[in-house]
Every structure is written in structure tokens, then in C-alpha cells.
Amino acid sequence: EQAGKGEYDHYMLKEIYEQPTSLAQAIEGRVDSDSGEINLEDFPPGTFDDVDRVQFVACGTSYHAALYGSLALNQAGIQSQALLANEYSVSAPPVDENTLVIAVTQSGETADTLSALRQAQDEGAQTVTVTNVVGSTAARVADESLLIRAGPEIGVAATKTFSSQAVMLTLLGQRISADVSGDPAFDLESVLADLENLPEQFETVLAGSSAAEIAHQYEDSRSYFFIGRGLGFPVALEGALKFKEITYEHAEGFASGELKHGPLALVTPDTPVFAVFTGTEDEKTLKNAEEAQTRGAPVIAVCPDGHPATQVADAHLEIPDADSELAGLLANVQLQLVSYHAAELLDRPIDKPRNLAKSVTVE
């Protein structure tokens, strides 16, 4: 088994460090910033001409990637929702032949997600799956599939597949938005350039991360909170999920603005708050973080160097320029590393956390 891990102590760490490569694989041949073109194989321009709304269904980490994709589409003016696949059978919004249902699933075998996918199909929706596994059940059931090409992921806690899912949903979102509204979701040229730069930016974060020190600094804490706004919100949720999965410590993610509507009651000097700054109303997130700090909580700002949050925060995890819709993915790498190092300090079985399975094939 050690052979498969190479120089790393755990598959999870190896997979975190593989992200520059897995992201490069995800976009290879699909993005051309010189010509400003996206090549999405089975999804040429016009594929989604008759779509008027989008639903994402997914579980766990894939749900957070789905939320990322859905919020980006909303920001582009496309009606879109991210739904927990396990709730879909009881509370799915109506679908018809103009609804596109996108099942996001790394394994392509999660029973909850397959069940939602089949239900949507039975009700007449168009279906797509975004998956890592060629020939998986989701890929066979959905009308079309888009592969994230992340390579095998062994660690139970998903890491590299999250970033690849989010990148592929960003690309797919550009196509959907262009087909549905006539305009790409974001400035296409800059998205394509940002995507091409992303693997290198991941390298930068991985090479210079102070996550191990931060994990050590706060290792005696009782509870860990993660906040973010806009596309930073799914990153906050994912940061907390990763943390609880592998450290067994209490961790929760919130939309920054929600902190004051309840969770603030839990904030004490023993509850570090990781605040993710992605360039969306950062001044509001900073105010929310300061509200926690006033109650004694240490604030760890995940933001670029020189960002106003660094003046206020107790600690800093640096990311390259946050002024991009992909900034959240860079922040997520730092949070992956914090979780990893915190779990290592606690001597947890990082690759196989108790009670969890890589792929859950029962509902």
C-alpha cells in the first residue's frame, strides 16, 4: 500500500498534492484562451438551447461542488438550484423537458444520487452526470456524461475530485449560460485564462502553505467554524465537512452573514473561525469575522497577501489573487491542508475515517 502513496504518509495528502496535475488533466484540450473557445466533447454550443432551468443533485463533497456550480449559474441569471440527492424523492421541485438535471458524483455509484437521477429522468428532465468514473452507473443512466479526469481517489475524504468537479461545472456553466441566455456566465476570456493559470496557482499554495502551523496553533480548540460568502459559502461548508470527517472534531460551515443569526451564540475563545475571502462583498465577511473576534474567537483569514482582512485577523492562510470566480478553490486547498494536519496531530486514521465509506451504495 505504501508504494501507492509514494513519498506521502497518506493517500489524502498525496491526492491534495496531485491537484495541479488533476486540474491540468481536467482542462486539457477543453480550454483555449487564445481562441476563447471551450471544447466539451458531447456538449457543443447549442446543446442546452431548450433548457430553462437547472437542478444539481449530489451528496457530501459533491454537493458542495454542485452548490458552487449552481451559485455561479444564479449569478449569471440562470435559474438553478443545488439539491441534496437524498432529499430529492420527497421535496424535488417540479421538472419538465426543459429542465436540466445534473448529477454530480465522483464515483458515479452513490445510491442517493442515482435514485434522484432516475427520478428526474422518469419525470422527463434532460440529464447529465459529472463524474470521475468512466462506465459508472451514473454515466450509463444519464443522457450524457462529462468526465472530470481526476484519476483514482483512494482517500475516503474527497479532495482532488472536489476541485476538478468545480472546474468542470464552471466550464459546463459557461456553456449552459451561453446557450440559455446568450451570454457566458462570466467573462469567458478571463475565465479561460484563470483556468489555465489555476494548476500553477495550486502549486503556489501547496508550496507555501502555513496550514501545518495553523493546525498546531489551534489544536486544543473545542469547535471550528468556517464562514464564506457567495462562492466562498460552499467552500466554508466543504472546509467544515473535511475537518469533521477526518479529525472527529466538531466543525461547522456557515454563510458569513448567518453567523449573527444563531451560531454566534457558540463562539468563544475556544472556537477558531476560518474566514474565506473570495472577492465577493469581502468587507461584509470581514465585519462578520470581527463580530466573532469581539467575542474572543481567533480569526484565521484565508485571503491574498495585503488583503484588508490580514490587518484584522489573528492568523493568515495566503492564497493568490482572490479576484476571480475560482478563488474559492484556492482557499479550499488551504482548508484541506488544515484538516489534514489537524487530523495528523490527533493521530486519526486519515484515509479511512471511522463509520465512513468512499462510496455509499445504499439509500
Integer angstrom CA distances of residue 56 from 62, 83, 120, 122, 175:
10, 6, 11, 16, 16
Beta bridge partners of 104: 130
Q: Which of 5, 260, 352, 358 is catalytic?
A: 358
Question: DSSP secondary-structure letter at 39?
Answer: -
Q: Which is nearer to ligand G6P, 55 or 201 (CB)?
A: 55
- Rounded CA gap, 190 and 193, in Å? 5
Three-point CA angle 231, 233, 237, nearest 5°? 130
φ and ψ at residue 85, rounded to 5 degrees: -60, -35
Question: DSSP secondary-structure letter at 281?
Answer: S
Q: Which is nearer to ligand G6P, 60 or 239 (CB)?
A: 60
DSSP string of 192-258? HHHHHHHHHHHHHHHHH--HHHHHHHTTT-SEEEEEE-TTHHHHHHHHHHHHHHHH-SEEEEEEGGG
| Annotated catalytic residue 358 | yes
Integer angstrom CA distances of residue 266 from 2, 251, 285:
41, 12, 18
Cα maximum dimension of the chain: 54
Q: Which is nearer to ligand G6P, 57 or 215 (CB)?
A: 57
Name every residue whose Cβ is closer than 8 Å to that of residue 49 and which is 6 or more positions away in sequence: 179, 180
- Rounded CA gap, 145 and 102, in Å? 9
For the bound state, the minimum distance from the C-beta of residue 220 to ligand G6P, rounded and expressed in Å, comes to 27
Residue 234 CB burial class (10 angstroms; 0-12, 13-18, ≥19) = buried
Q: Which spans of this chain sit near ligand G6P (rule: CB under 6 A)? A: 59-62, 105-107, 110, 113, 156-158, 356-360
For the bound state, the minimum distance from the C-beta of residue 348 to ligand G6P, rounded and expressed in Å, comes to 15
Q: Which is nearer to ligand G6P, 66 or 313 (CB)?
A: 66
φ and ψ at residue 39, rounded to 5 degrees: -115, 105
Q: Which is nearer to ligand G6P, 107 or 163 (CB)?
A: 107
For the bound state, the minimum distance from the C-beta of residue 332 to ligand G6P, rounded and expressed in Å, comes to 14
Q: Which is nearer to ligand G6P, 60 or 184 (CB)?
A: 60
- For ligand G6P, the nearest residue by Cβ is 60
For the bound state, the minimum distance from the C-beta of residue 248 to ligand G6P, rounded and expressed in Å, comes to 14
For the bound state, the minimum distance from the C-beta of residue 88 to ligand G6P, rounded and expressed in Å, comes to 13
Q: Quick one: how far is CA 238 from the chain centroid?
A: 6
Among the listed residues 148, 175, 155, the one whose alpha carbon sits nearest the alpha carbon of residue 21: 148
For the bound state, the minimum distance from the C-beta of residue 106 to ligand G6P, rounded and expressed in Å, comes to 3
Q: Which is nearer to ligand G6P, 135 or 182 (CB)?
A: 135
For the bound state, the minimum distance from the C-beta of residue 51 to ligand G6P, rounded and expressed in Å, comes to 23
Q: Catalytic residues, which ones?
A: 358
